[in-house]
Amino acid sequence: MPDNKPTFSTPYKNANELTKLTLGKTTAYISEYSPSLLQGVPRSLNRNNIAIEVTALPFKGEDVWYGYEISWLNVKGKPVVAVGVFRFPCDSDNIIESKSFKLYLNSFNQSRFSSTESVIEHMVKDLSAIAGKPATVSLFSVTECPSFNIEYLPATCIDDIDITIDDYTFDAQLLKKVGSIESVTPVSETLVSHLLKSNCLITNQPDWASIYISYKGESIPHENLLRYLISFRKHNEFHEQCVERIFTDLLHAYSLTELTVYARYTRRGGLDINPFRSTHLTHAPSVRTHRQ
């Protein structure tokens, strides 16, 4: 039988590691290269909260960031613009805090670099130092950026299920409510919902996402899954934390032999964050929808 371990609340909101962040505070925008602007959030905060052993993660994966507002000056002072893809392994020590990432990228605006390769080298060094594991940085011209092509993952959308919702309190038990119909025959399918909304842990600003769930094993009732995802609507956590919560809740609620959870969050401040967690896959597909 599946492990129906309950999902816990988020008492780490006032952790010392979070009170030191610039997130939610008035800050000056620095336009000269300044790696000290970057800040990290320990992944262990949320993982301890949902009983994930940091030394024995139940998933593989990465956090993929797409950057749309990247610029610096060449040696003659002429501006260069680019778009970027940043990848951080999910077993790194820290999440890159999003506001600090934006401030850091802005600090390149009035700084001179000899080449795009030099910019990449600086970014890899700085981001890897904060993450605690090697980061990958790819920069593209705005006319040649294959990773930014609009594509769609093949998936069954569950958003058209006709349901009534009158409670938006997060509830993992919605995945296994009384009366669920479970298939005896193992199922293999990919589902998507564009209705995922959560809120920033610190600022309470809304975060919007399309979430893809691919699995093999016990059938996940689509209505239960949709109700569960909608229950995040008032929930406060960072993007990466929400995806890991969804992943572990699904593993606890159902007998699954394979599971992949991939959220494509909409852009804010020139960045979008796309956490990818899987039992068997390491790298997220390079796809982007109209919402991103």
Q: What is the CATH number of the domain that holds 196?
A: 3.30.1130.10
Examine the domain organization and report whether 106 and 168 are in the same domain. Answer: no
Greater pLDDT, 8 or 92? 92
- pTM for the predicted model, two decimal places: 0.90
| Res 209 pLDDT > 60 | yes
Residue where a domain stops, chosen among 127, 147, 167: 147
Examine the domain organization and report whether 124 and 203 are in the same domain. Answer: no
Beta carbons of 38 and 104 less than 8 angstroms apart? yes
Residue 22 domain-assigned (yes or no): yes
Mean pLDDT, residues 26-46: 88
Q: CA 199, CA 234: separation in Å to the nearest integer?
A: 7
Examine the domain organization and report whether 114 and 180 are in the same domain. Answer: no
Judge whether 207 counts as a catalytic residue: yes
Residue 218 domain-assigned (yes or no): yes
Q: Domains in the chain: how many in total?
A: 2
Examine the domain organization and report whether 95 and 161 are in the same domain. Answer: no
Q: CA 108, CA 110: separation in Å to the nearest integer?
A: 6
Examine the domain organization and report whether 116 and 160 are in the same domain. Answer: no
Examine the domain organization and report whether 137 and 167 are in the same domain. Answer: no
| Catalytic hit among 200, 242, 249, 272 | 200
Model pLDDT, residue 25: 54
Examine the domain organization and report whether 215 and 235 are in the same domain. Answer: yes
Residue where a domain stops, chosen among 120, 147, 174: 147
Judge whether 145 counts as a catalytic residue: no
Q: CA 291, CA 273: separation in Å to the nearest integer?
A: 12
Range(s) of the domain holding residue 193: 156-278
Q: CA 4, CA 41: separation in Å to the nearest integer?
A: 28
| Catalytic hit among 63, 207, 249, 272 | 207
Q: CA 248, CA 235: separation in Å to the nearest integer?
A: 16
78-131, pLDDT tens digit by residue?
Answer: 999 999 999 999 999 999 999 999 999 999 999 999 999 999 999 999 999 999
Handedness of CA 35, 103, 133, 151 (dihedral sign): negative
Examine the domain organization and report whether 219 and 248 are in the same domain. Answer: yes
